[in-house]
């Protein structure tokens, strides 16, 4: 079926706008779109989006992570073998992480990473034909915010929810960060790590995130004030 931008799409649909834009110049196809011989077809169900001048993608619902280059993910170290760590990031096969891809790591100075540790890392190699590889440094050799996450609490959610709360227009984090202090790391693989001062506050952040999945912006703001008042009432 023929569809337009911002329409609900199903796999097998096509949009003439993409095809005509493709004839004029370069088009960037995001997730959920695929070129077949001379036409672009939609491969995922969701909403077709466009960002000017010519970037197209489909906002779709997904729970299973498929690695993609440059994304920040949260993984668990599952194995230490020689020079590499194997890290479970939720994809079909575990990602590899060299012990040299940590800040200030050398052959002598090995990073202290144990099996079972939680890592915040960047996807370096993500190809469908190869094992994914992650690193805990940026291109300047600095760790930035990457590395082992100590203490805190990790929970799983859908990939959309992570994208939603990281969207600058989403009021969730903006609202709760003013209410009480906490640390948060969101992995694009549908895992979120949080750390707050007390157990009660940690759970409050987690619940707020999970509850916001199907809420609109206004509802999220309401919910945040509700949670804050409940929390404050009990703490004081």
Partner 1 sequence: MGAEEQNIKEFKLKPMKCELNFLSKSDGSAILSQGETVALASVNGPLDVKMQSQSIEKSTLEVLFCSKGGKPSVGDRYKENIIRQTCETAILSSLYPRTAITITIQELEDYGGFLSCCLNTACLALVNSGVAMRHVFAAVSCALDDRGNILLEPTQQQLETARATMNFVFDSRQKSLVTSFTEGAFSEDTYKEALARCRSASDLVFSFYRDIVTKYSKVIG
Q: Does residue 44 bind partner 1 (CB under 8 A)?
A: yes
- Measured between alpha carbons, how far is 124 from 70 in angstroms, rounded to an integer? 6
- Measured between alpha carbons, how far is 140 from 203 in angstroms, rounded to an integer? 36
Q: Does residue 210 bind partner 1 (CB under 8 A)?
A: no
- Measured between alpha carbons, how far is 160 from 148 in angstroms, rounded to an integer? 24
| Nearest distance, CB of residue 222 and partner 1, angstroms | 16
Judged by CB under 8 A, the residue of 8, 78, 166, 232 near partner 1 is: 8
**Pick from 172, 159, 168, 169: which is nearest to 206 by CA?**
172
- Measured between alpha carbons, how far is 139 from 146 in angstroms, rounded to an integer? 12
Q: Does residue 160 bind partner 1 (CB under 8 A)?
A: yes
Q: Does residue 61 bind partner 1 (CB under 8 A)?
A: yes
Q: Does residue 64 bind partner 1 (CB under 8 A)?
A: yes
At which residue do the structure tokens 């008042």 appear?
Answer: 229
Q: How many residues bind partner 1 (CB under 8 A)?
A: 35
Q: Does residue 216 bind partner 1 (CB under 8 A)?
A: yes
* 2 token code pair: 């023929």
Q: Does residue 79 bind partner 1 (CB under 8 A)?
A: no
Q: Does residue 93 bind partner 1 (CB under 8 A)?
A: yes
Q: How many CB atoms lie within 10 A of CB 117?
A: 16
- Measured between alpha carbons, how far is 216 from 73 in angstroms, rounded to an integer? 26
Q: Does residue 155 bind partner 1 (CB under 8 A)?
A: no
Which residues would be at the binding site for partner 1 (CB under 8 A)?
1, 8-13, 32, 34, 41, 43-47, 49, 59-64, 66, 91-93, 128-129, 159-160, 164, 213-216
């Amino acid at each position: 079926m023929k569809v337009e931008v911002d329409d609900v799409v199903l796999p097998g649909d096509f949009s003439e706008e993409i095809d005509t834009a493709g004839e004029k110049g370069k088009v960037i196809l995001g997730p959920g779109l695929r070129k077949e011989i001379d036409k672009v077809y939609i491969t995922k169900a969701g909403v077709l989006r466009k960002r000017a001048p010519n970037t197209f993608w489909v906002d779709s619902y997904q729970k299973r992570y498929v690695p993609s280059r440059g994304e920040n993910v949260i993984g668990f170290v599952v194995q230490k073998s020689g020079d590499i760590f194997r890290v479970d990031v939720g994809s079909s096969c575990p990602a590899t992480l060299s012990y040299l891809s940590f800040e200030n790591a050398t052959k002598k100075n090995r990073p202290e990473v144990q099996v079972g540790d939680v890592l915040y890392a960047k996807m370096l190699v993500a190809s469908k034909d190869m094992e994914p590889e992650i690193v805990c440094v940026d291109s300047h050799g600095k760790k930035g915010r990457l590395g082992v996450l100590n203490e805190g609490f990790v929970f799983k959610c859908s990939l959309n929810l992570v994208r939603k709360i990281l969207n600058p227009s989403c009021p969730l984090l903006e609202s709760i960060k003013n209410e009480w202090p906490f640390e948060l790391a969101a992995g694009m693989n549908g895992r979120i790590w949080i750390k707050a001062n007390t157990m009660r506050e940690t759970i409050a952040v987690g619940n707020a995130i999970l509850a916001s999945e199907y809420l609109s912006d206004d509802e999220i703001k309401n919910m945040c004030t509700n949670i804050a008042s409940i929390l404050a009432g009990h703490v004081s």
